[in-house]
């Protein structure tokens, strides 16, 4: 894991378990004072507090799990609903959400991608909206447009019990919201609950956690103690996305025979809950840190062209504006060179768009190798590139561009055993005292590029404006 320990809020990490410990101890002492006066009332207060705390802990774990569906939706939208990078996204998300068993994409409600796939192959092609055992829950998610938590259900691929988080994803097309499909996170019941409730058996507590499955006539039991609960058990709702679970817990105080045993039990329970609070608070903080880190990575991708790896127009424009101000105020020369591939449409028409992508990457690599560290090169759009040359006079810039142009014209590129040759045209302009913004300089470079095209292509032209 990345070094994130410095970002952990140590005060919260210590304070929350301590507050939990002191709260439970205080409530235990309160129950002890009134124990002999009213056993039943004290039992209710104690178990109610315990049930509420466990409910909140379970809800916190569910939030960690279901966040995987939102992360998957974010990455899906980032790639404009292309799913080719699904395995890479899932691998990254699962490294953060360790309890999630697998991730799925279900365009149109049909499961088409699962990671990891091994052992889950049978679920591929599963039509959630038309399977009688799944359709009601799936329809609820679509109709409500909300993340929905279903389970536990028995999986068709391995017959194991699991809870499923389905997030409906919608696209806007022609100003209409259209259902795209589901992002799905699945976690096996034993991995969701872990040892959270099993330790209550040793404390003499009976419990039962009932899930929610609208596709079933009976509500499924997620976890239960060895001994069944009675109708006197304290009940507390566990809010899950688009639904509700029910946690029931009861304790028989008659088993206590002396004060020492009672205080020991309270201390043990307080320590147990304090430990849970520490574990889940730390997990929550690490989850938040990883989410922030992932968002920062996604934000950085917004500044670079995904095909060539060069800066995109937005990123280059911001830097160019700073270079322009430096040139105007400090009399530092700045040259703008506008590059365009000649007859690029012909390359796409004859060899295909994949060949065109190869040419764009090749030109990007040649330009990047030719530029200095101080130069800024970017893909401006389509087959157009731009280079900002600070601290450079027009004579040097022209030599640089002519050399680049000649080198490219002599190169021969291979694509599927076919040789592809191409040339470029370049327009240059220099920052002038009368320029109001960098757009003025870029406009003249664009005009010079147009002149180079008009005069036969495969040439450089300088703006005299």
Q: Which positions ≥6 away from 62 have C-beta within 8 Å?
A: 149, 192, 238, 240, 241
Nearest residue to 7 via CA among 221, 398, 285, 281? 285
Using a 10 angstrom Cβ sphere, with 0-12 exposed, 13-18 middle and 19 or more buried, the burial of residue 127 is middle
| DSSP code of residue 6 | G
Q: Say how many Å lie between the first and final Cα of the chain, rounded.
A: 56
**C-alpha to C-alpha distance for 108 and 110, rounded to whole angstroms:** 6
Which residue's structure tokens are 């307080």?
A: 270
**C-alpha to C-alpha distance for 274 and 292, rounded to whole angstroms:** 27
**383 is a catalytic site residue:** yes
Nearest residue to 306 via CA among 94, 84, 95, 104? 84
**C-alpha to C-alpha distance for 295 and 301, rounded to whole angstroms:** 10
**C-alpha to C-alpha distance for 422 and 363, rounded to whole angstroms:** 10
- Phi, psi angle pair for 312, to nearest 5°: -90, 180
Selected catalytic residue, list 383, 411, 416, 439: 383
**C-alpha to C-alpha distance for 255 and 409, rounded to whole angstroms:** 91
DSSP letter for each residue of 195-242: TTTTHHHHTTEEEEEE-B-TTSSSPPEEEE-SSPP-TT-EEEEEEETT
Structure tokens at 311: 């800066």
What is the side-by-side strand order in the sheet with 176-188?
A: 113-115, 102-107, 176-188, 161-173, 148-154
Q: Are strands 161-173 and 176-188 parallel, antiparallel or unpaired?
A: antiparallel
**C-alpha to C-alpha distance for 87 and 107, rounded to whole angstroms:** 16
Q: Which positions ≥6 away from 287 have C-beta within 8 Å?
A: 64, 67, 96, 97
Residues carrying an active site annotation: 383
């Amino acid at each position: 894991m990345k070094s994130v320990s410095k970002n952990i809020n140590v005060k919260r990490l210590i304070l929350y378990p301590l507050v939990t410990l002191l709260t439970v101890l205080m409530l235990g002492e309160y129950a002890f004072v009134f124990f002999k006066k009213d056993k039943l009332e004290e039992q209710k207060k104690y178990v109610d507090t315990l049930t509420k705390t466990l409910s909140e802990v379970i809800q916190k774990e569910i939030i960690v799990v279901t966040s995987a569906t939102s992360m998957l939706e974010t990455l899906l939208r980032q790639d404009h609903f292309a799913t080719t990078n699904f395995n890479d996204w899932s691998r990254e998300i699962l490294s953060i959400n360790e309890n999630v068993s697998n991730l799925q994409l279900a365009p149109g409600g049909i499961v088409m991608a699962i990671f990891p796939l091994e052992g889950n192959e049978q679920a591929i092609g599963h039509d959630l909206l038309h399977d009688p055992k799944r359709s009601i829950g799936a329809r609820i998610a679509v109709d409500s447009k909300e993340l929905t938590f279903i389970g536990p259900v028995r999986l068709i691929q391995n017959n194991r019990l699991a809870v499923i988080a389905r997030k409906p994803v919608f696209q806007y097309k022609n100003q209409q919201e259209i259902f795209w499909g589901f992002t799905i996170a699945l976690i096996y019941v034993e991995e969701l609950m872990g040892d959270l409730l099993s330790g209550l058996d040793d404390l003499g507590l009976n419990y039962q956690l009932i899930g929610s499955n609208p596709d079933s006539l009976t509500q499924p039991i997620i976890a239960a103690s060895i001994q069944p609960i009675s109708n006197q058990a304290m009940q507390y709702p566990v809010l899950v996305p688009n639904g509700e679970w029910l946690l029931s817990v009861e304790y028989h105080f008659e088993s206590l025979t002396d004060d020492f045993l009672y205080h020991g039990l309270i201390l043990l329970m307080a320590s147990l809950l304090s430990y849970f609070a520490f574990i889940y608070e730390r997990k929550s903080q690490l989850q938040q840190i990883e989410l922030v880190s992932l968002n920062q990575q996604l934000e950085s991708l917004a500044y670079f062209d995904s095909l060539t790896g060069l800066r995109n127009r937005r990123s280059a424009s911001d830097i160019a504006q700073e270079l322009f101000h430096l040139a105007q105020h400090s009399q530092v020369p700045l040259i703008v060179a506008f590059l365009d591939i000649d007859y690029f449409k012909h390359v796409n028409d004859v060899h295909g768009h994949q060949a065109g992508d190869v040419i764009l990457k090749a030109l990007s690599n040649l330009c990047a190798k030719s530029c200095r560290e101080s130069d800024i090169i970017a893909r401006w759009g389509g087959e157009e590139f731009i280079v900002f040359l600070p601290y450079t006079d027009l004579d040097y810039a022209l030599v640089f561009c002519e050399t680049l142009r000649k080198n490219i014209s002599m190169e021969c590129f291979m694509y599927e055993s076919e040789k592809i040759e191409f040339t470029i045209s370049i327009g240059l302009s220099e920052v002038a005292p009368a320029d109001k913004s960098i757009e003025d300089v870029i406009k003249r470079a664009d005009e010079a590029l147009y002149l180079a095209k008009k005069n036969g292509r495969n040439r450089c032209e300088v703006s005299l404006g």
